[in-house]
Amino acid sequence: MDEMKNYHTEICAYCKNEVTVMWDTEHDGYDIYCPACGKKLRLCSACEKYKAALCDYNEDTGECSMTEEKNNG
């Protein structure tokens, strides 16, 4: 497996820190916790739906179809 493929960078919506992690979204899903503030952080940039402008993230619930897919695995 190409390790560079698993590096993801997001900006934390809470503390505004840039966070880069090596993460396997296929195995571990799209949610991590910010190492700076501890709040939940979604790896949206790794999601094909996000890249295709088909994101269905719900800010009220903090969920999207990718979360449901991972949980129902």
Q: What was the pLDDT predicted at 34? A: 95
How many domains in the chain? 1
Q: What was the pLDDT predicted at 48? A: 84
One pLDDT digit (tens) per residue for the chain, 73 residues: 455 568 999 999 899 999 999 999 888 888 999 999 999 888 988 888 877 888 888 878 878 887 755 544 4
Q: What was the pLDDT predicted at 68? A: 54
Distances (CA, A) of 53 to 43, 48, 49, 73: 15, 9, 6, 23
Distances (CA, A) of 12 to 3, 43, 53, 59: 23, 10, 20, 14
Q: What is the pTM of this model?
A: 0.70
What is the four-CA torsion angle of 18, 34, 8, 30, rounded to 10 degrees? -140
Domain of residue 26, residue span: 3-72
